[in-house]
């Protein structure tokens, strides 16, 4: 596909729209919901964990809807009754460790959840744009070669395979039913508001704020592309806008990444430096079922969506550290 000359301004399209946002209580969901609400959209924030989130962390201006994405009749009713025009499907069991411990729960949430939402969209005539979240982990292990969207999905471990399955299912709904669905494949997300403490950024910042050394489960040498959640949110919204406007976007996947590789030890070291913390990480060197080296090319998103990352690792980590300094007592 060629560059279609889009403008990078993703903002203009949201006033008056009704958006069904799954996973709205999560890291990316809260960022996307807040951004949409600030741009004038009516947002139905759908999640099965609102009850676990401190009320002050709920994004302003969105309607809270409790529910499970595997509940097809409920999802179909919400889409129909509120004449939703945009569906952004982010809900998933997102943690790699629990996915290894309970693959069935992960496949159920991530695969059945995806087909259930898409099937409801298929029956909803008002829906004109859908974004489904896959992951860079869907590509699996390519020995550090930069992931490009035309590479095969080789996810091997349960979380990775669940995202690859949801990705392919989304592609099939576009190809077979002409559903206007496009797919995101983001690098490792981080930013203020991530309450998944087993992830390296929130886990490390919380340890430092509590005065204890951060614990690294791996050998610290896994390489990831760390993308700030605000950049991922802009990417999701740009893709939702373009999936509505441009049929050639439908069924297509887009990588979103910062374009910077860092080891876990480097990220932890940067956080310790920014927080002026005289602590040494504890490296457990456990065997983890994870891809050792991930690199992500976002060339296609830049070319076709006009998207590029705005945060550096330094500015993004400063934002995250500030958030936990202000809010840790609410969420720890």
Q: Applying CB under 6 A, which part among 12-20, 183-191, 261-269, 306-314 lies near ligand NAD? A: 183-191
Check binding of 109 to ligand NAD (CB under 6 A): yes
Displacement of CA 13 from its chain's centroid (Å) = 21
Q: Which residue has the tokens 């099939």?
A: 172
Q: Which two tokens stand for residue 34?
A: 């807040």
CB of 310 closer than 8 Å to CB of 231: yes
| Residue window 10-39: x/- pattern of binding to ligand NAD, with contact defined by CB under 6 A | ------------xx-xxxxx----------
| Distance in angstroms (rounded) separating the CA atoms of residues 111 and 106 | 8
Site for ligand NAD in 265-284 (CB under 6 A): none
Q: Is 172 helix (H, G, I), strand (E, B) or coil?
A: helix
| Distance in angstroms (rounded) separating the CA atoms of residues 164 and 187 | 14
Check binding of 113 to ligand NAD (CB under 6 A): yes
Active site residues: 159
Among 41, 84, 88, 90, binds ligand NAD (CB under 6 A): 90
Check binding of 233 to ligand NAD (CB under 6 A): no
Q: Which is nearer to ligand NAD, 33 or 220 (CB)?
A: 33
| Distance in angstroms (rounded) separating the CA atoms of residues 225 and 203 | 17
Q: Which is nearer to ligand NAD, 113 or 316 (CB)?
A: 113
Residues in contact with ligand NAD, counted by CB under 6 A, come to a total of 28
- Which residues are CB-contacts of 150 (< 8 A; sequence separation ≥ 6)? none
Q: Which is nearer to ligand NAD, 93 or 170 (CB)?
A: 93
- Which residues are CB-contacts of 18 (< 8 A; sequence separation ≥ 6)? 41, 42, 44, 82, 83, 84, 85, 86
Min. distance of Cβ 103 from ligand NAD in angstroms?
15
Q: Which is nearer to ligand NAD, 198 or 312 (CB)?
A: 198
**Given the rule CB under 6 A, which residues bind ligand NAD?**
22-23, 25-29, 47-49, 68-70, 90-94, 109, 113, 133, 135-136, 163, 186, 188-189, 196
């Amino acid at each position: 596909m060629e560059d279609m000359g889009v403008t990078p301004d993703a903002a203009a399209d949201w006033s008056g729209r009704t958006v069904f946002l799954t996973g709205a209580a999560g890291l990316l969901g809260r960022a996307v919901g807040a951004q949409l609400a600030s741009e004038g959209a009516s947002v139905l924030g759908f999640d099965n964990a609102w009850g676990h989130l401190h009320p002050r962390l709920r994004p302003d201006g969105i309607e809270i809807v409790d529910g499970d994405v595997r509940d097809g009749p409920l999802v179909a009713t919400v889409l129909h009754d509120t004449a939703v025009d945009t569906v952004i499907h982010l809900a998933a069991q997102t943690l790699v460790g629990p996915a290894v411990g309970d693959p069935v729960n992960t496949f159920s949430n991530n695969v059945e959840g995806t087909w259930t939402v898409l099937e409801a969209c298929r029956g909803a005539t008002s829906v004109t744009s859908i974004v489904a979240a896959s992951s860079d982990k869907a590509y699996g292990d390519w020995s550090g070669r930069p992931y490009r969207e035309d590479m095969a999905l080789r996810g091997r471990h349960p979380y990775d395979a669940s995202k690859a399955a949801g990705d392919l299912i989304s592609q099939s709904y576009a190809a077979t039913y002409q559903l206007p669905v496009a797919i995101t494949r983001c690098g490792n997300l981080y930013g203020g508001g991530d309450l998944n403490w087993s992830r390296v950024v929130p886990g490390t910042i919380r340890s430092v704020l509590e005065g204890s050394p951060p614990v690294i489960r791996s050998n610290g040498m896994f390489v990831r592309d760390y993308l700030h959640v605000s950049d991922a949110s802009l990417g999701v919204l740009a893709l939702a806008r373009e999936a509505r406007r441009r049929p050639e976007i439908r069924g297509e996947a887009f990588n979103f990444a910062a374009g910077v590789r860092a080891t876990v030890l480097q990220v932890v070291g940067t956080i310790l430096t920014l927080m002026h913390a005289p602590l040494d990480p504890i490296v457990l060197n456990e065997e983890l079922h994870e891809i050792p080296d991930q690199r992500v090319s976002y060339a296609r998103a830049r070319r076709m969506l006009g998207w590029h990352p705005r945060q550096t690792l330094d500015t993004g980590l400063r934002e995250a550290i500030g958030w936990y300094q202000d809010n840790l007592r609410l969420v720890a």
